[in-house]
Amino acid sequence: MDKLSVMNAFRRIVERGSFAKAAEDLCVSPALLSREIKLLEESLGTTLLTRTTRSMSLTDAGRLYYDEATGILSAVTEVESRIRDGAGAVRGHLKVNASSSFGQTVIAPLLPRFLASYPDLRLTLSMDDRVVDMVEGGFDVSIRIRSAMPNSALITRKLGSIRQRIFASPAYIEKVGAPRDPEDIRNHRVVGFLLADHLNAWTLQGPAGKITIELDPPVRVGNSLVLRDLLINGQGIGTLPDFVSNAPEARGQLVRVLPDWELPAPEIFAVTASRLGMDTKVTAFLDHLRAALRA
């Protein structure tokens, strides 16, 4: 049994709602289609379609098979199209999703060189600090920063790690002083990242091991760049990832607080929906991103 051929036949039967109409589209007899679906059901050990003289409907197993077969056939069509268009050609429309802070500080600087390298490529960069449904949004790749990725049908690839440390401005420290130890953080004005797992509790690793500090930040923002600017302007202490903190720290606008302590290092993941691997435009983009992360 040719599985792809049977998948295509099953999909056409479901979409046309009729064996006769599907057979006409595929230029075969309804009897042949009926035999193929019966063999498919026997090989799977379950019923996919319930049929009467007047109607036809999908079983739960049939709905699952239809959804998965549709995805596989679409992916095969895409692969064949890419090969026909020229192996290794980077063209088409690349749709990328990332958080606002990562998009602005890491991805945006690499785009001019990336786009210059691939003039036939169209690019859409969507930046959103909340996790979006990348399949529904039609994204080719989503860059996510998490301590771990949940199990799902999506394909995840680790690109690197970041450092998550505590910062304040020199003016704040001169005015209020720096925390003497992790417990002393509670006596300071904390600016929290609204979307972080550690909004109300900082688990810090340091010379004395691991300690968790319960907090109730009086100021909470949903964007790391806004948080950075508040810290630079002396509004308190807070945690920042290194791709946000490196530049202002180098300029002396921010200084490390409790430099021997930091939060667990999150990972940078590239998430794709394809089960058959990344296409050339996604691979080219991630190669440029890896180079930027190394730099």
Residue 69 has pLDDT above 70, yes or no: yes
Whether residue 81 is found in the same domain as residue 97: no
Q: Map tokens 């996604």 to a residue.
A: 282
Residue 134 has pLDDT above 80, yes or no: no
Question: Which of 11-20, 132-141, 246-255 is the most confident on average?
Answer: 246-255
Q: In what order do the strands lie in the sheet with 121-127?
A: 121-127, 92-98, 141-146, 267-272, 155-161
Whether residue 47 is found in the same domain as residue 98: no
Into how many domains does the chain fold?
Answer: 3
Residue 194 maps to a domain: yes
Residue 262 maps to a domain: no
Query: Which whole number is the average pLDDT over 6-15?
Result: 87
Q: Which domain holds residue 10?
A: 3-85
- Mean pLDDT lowest among 56-60, 121-125, 177-181, 291-295: 291-295
Structure confidence at residue 152 (pLDDT): 64
3-state per-residue secondary structure call for 147-215? CCCCCCCCEEEEEEECCEEEEECHHHHHHHCCCCCHHHHHHCCEEEECCCCCCCEEEEEECCEEEEEEC
Structure confidence at residue 151 (pLDDT): 64
Identify the CATH number of the domain in which residue 12 sits.
Answer: 1.10.10.10
What is this structure's pTM?
0.66
